[in-house]
Amino acid sequence: MGGGARRVALVLAGVLLVAGCAGTPEDPTAAGDGGGQAGGTAEPVAGGAGGDGGGASGDPIRIGISLPLSGDFSEPGVGVQQGYEVWAESVNRAGGLLGRPVELLFRDDASDPNRVVSDYESLITQEEVDLVFGPFSTRLVIPAAEVAESYDMLFVEPAGAAPEVFEQGFEYLFYAAPAVANDHYNYLADWILALPEDQRPQTAAYAAMDDPFAQGTAYGLKDRLEAGGIETVVDEVYPPDTTDFSAIGARVAAADADIVVGGTQFEDAVGLVRSFQELGYQPRLAAFSTGPTLPEFDEAVSGATEGILSPVGYAVGAEIEGNAEFAALHEELHGTPPTEDAANGYTVGQVVAAAVEAVGCAEQGEECQRALADHIRANEFQTVVGPLSFDEAGRPQSAHLIQQWQGGEVQIVLPEDSDAVTAEVQFPKAEW
C-alpha cells in the first residue's frame, strides 16, 4: 500500500517527536547529546564496533532501529542490539552490502509503544535511513510496523510472534525466527501427550504476563494439553509491571498442579520461580518462555533452574552453516556467547542482506522496498536459526527446539530426532 491515509493520520497525531538515542549495551540510556531523553539524535554504529567497512566504499547504507534498551524489555532488547551489531560487523568485514558499508542508527524506545512510533517516524523522515529493522516485543512491533507500512518500508523483525502481528494486513512485515508464539511449545506438547497414560501429567497451572507474545506461548501449549485431556486448574494473567508474585505463587502451589507453565519475559520468570521456591511447590514439569533462555537466569534465581523447560529458536552449538562464525564474532565483540535474542537480531540482518544483494537495491521508495518484500516472500533463506521461509502474512514456517536446564547447564532435549539434541528430557524434574 502507498503512504496514504495511515501516514496522514500519524502526522496529524503529532508523532514526529524525536525519541531518545541508544548507547552501548553497557549503558543503554547514554548516547550523544540526547542522553536517552526526547529530542536526542540517533547514534550511528558502523559495523557495530567501529569497523572500517572491510574495503567497502561509497555512502553507507543506513539502517534505523528502535529497541527497548531500558524499561520492561531491556534484557532481551540489549541482546537483539548485540545481534544487530555482530551482523553489521560481519557484513562490513566482508566488504559491505552492494559494496557499501553498513551503518546502524539505534534509538531507545524505553519499552514504550508511543515512543517506538516517534522513533521510526523520525528515523524514516528526518534521518532518511535506507532501511529499518524491527524492535523487540509484539507490543512494540505492531505500532512500529504501522509506521513502516505507511512509508512502504520493508520491516523484518526479531521478536513479534503473537498471532495479532499477522492479522493486521501488513505487506512488508516478516518475523525472522523459526515459529510464531502459539507454535513455540509444539514439540513439548507432542512429547507430553505421547507419554504412557499412567505417566502422563493430569493437571496444569498457567500464569502469563498480559502481553500478546507471552500469552501466546503459554496458551498455545494450554490449548494442546487441554485437547489431550490435561485439566487446567489455575489460569492467571498479570500486568507487565507486576513485581510481587506471592499471591499467584500461592494459588498455583495450592492447586499442586503436575505442570506449571509461565508465559513470561525475564523478571517475571524469576519472580515466579522464587515464589514457588518459597512455598516449596515442586511440579513434575515447569516451562517458562524467554526468561530461562538467557544465561543470567541461573544467577538471578540462585541456581534454582533444574529441570526448567523453554522453547528456544537458537542453539549456540548447532551445526548450522555460519553459526560457528557468528558465535565466535559475538564472543569477540561482546565477550559472551550469543543468546537467542542476539541470534534473532543477526537473522534479521541475514534475511535482509540476502534480499538486498538479490534485488540490487537498498533505498527508500516503494519500488525498491516492495521488490525486497516480494523477494523475501518467495524464497527460503539460510540463517543461523536454520532455513527460513514465510507465508503471505510474514509468518515463519518452522518450529522451536525445546531446551532444559540440567545440572546448571542448558541442554537441547526436543524434538528427540533433531541433530541439535544434547540430552534426554529430565522427567519428573529434579527439585529446585
Q: Is residue 194 part of a domain?
A: yes
Q: Is residue 97 part of a domain?
A: yes
Whether 286 and 150 map to the same domain: the answer is no
Cα 98 from chain centroid (whole Å)? 27
CB 69 within 8 A of CB 28: yes
Q: Is residue 367 part of a domain?
A: yes
pLDDT for res 47? 52
Q: Is residue 83 part of a domain?
A: yes
- The C-alpha cell at 290 is 524467554
- In the chain, the number of structural domains is 2
pLDDT for res 35? 31
Whether 76 and 39 map to the same domain: the answer is yes
Whether 188 and 71 map to the same domain: the answer is no
CATH code, domain with 243: 3.40.50.2300
Residue 415, preceding bond cis, omega within 30 degrees? Answer: yes
Whether 111 and 187 map to the same domain: the answer is no
- The C-alpha cell at 115 is 515512543
| CA separation for the pair 425, 423 (Å, rounded) | 7
Q: Is residue 422 part of a domain?
A: no
* Locus of grid cell 503473537: 162
- The C-alpha cell at 227 is 485437547
Whether 147 and 197 map to the same domain: the answer is no
| DSSP three-state, residue 327 | helix
Whether 236 and 332 map to the same domain: the answer is no
Q: Across-strand partners of 401? A: 312
Residue 201, preceding bond cis, omega within 30 degrees? Answer: no
Phi/psi for 84 (5° steps) reads -60, -40
Q: Please give the residue range of the domain that contains residue 43.
A: 5-180+320-388
Q: Which residues of the chain have pLDDT under 70?
A: 1-54
Closest to 310 measured CA to CA, from 432, 397, 188, 421? 188
Whether 73 and 151 map to the same domain: the answer is yes
Q: Characterize 178-194 residue by residue with b for buried, 16 or more Cβ atoms within 10 angstroms of its Cβ, and e for exposed.
A: bbbbbbbbbbbbbbbee
Element at 23 (helix H, strand E): none
Q: Is residue 272 part of a domain?
A: yes
Q: Is residue 199 part of a domain?
A: yes
pLDDT for res 15? 32
> CA dihedral defined by 105, 110, 115, 120, rounded to 10 degrees?
20
Q: Characterize 148-173 residue by residue with b for buried, 16 or more Cβ atoms within 10 angstroms of its Cβ, and e for exposed.
A: bbbbbbbbbbbbbbbbebbeeebbbb
Phi/psi for 245 (5° steps) reads -105, 15
Q: Is residue 125 part of a domain?
A: yes
| DSSP three-state, residue 350 | helix
Whether 171 and 28 map to the same domain: the answer is yes
Q: Across-strand partners of 102? A: 61
Strands 102-108 and 61-67, how do they pair?
Answer: parallel
CB 103 within 8 A of CB 359: no
Whether 202 and 286 map to the same domain: the answer is yes
User: Roughly how many angstroms between the first and final C-alpha of the chain, as a whole number?
Assistant: 53
Element at 401 (helix H, strand E): strand 401-406
Closest to 101 measured CA to CA, from 75, 130, 123, 72? 130
Element at 136 (helix H, strand E): none
Element at 388 (helix H, strand E): strand 386-388
| CA separation for the pair 409, 43 (Å, rounded) | 36
Whether 303 and 335 map to the same domain: the answer is no
Residues 6+ apart with CB under 8 A from 341: 76, 77, 79, 80, 83, 136, 158, 159, 293, 294
Closest to 137 measured CA to CA, from 179, 165, 114, 96? 165
Whether 166 and 217 map to the same domain: the answer is no
| CA separation for the pair 159, 28 (Å, rounded) | 19
Whether 136 and 152 map to the same domain: the answer is yes
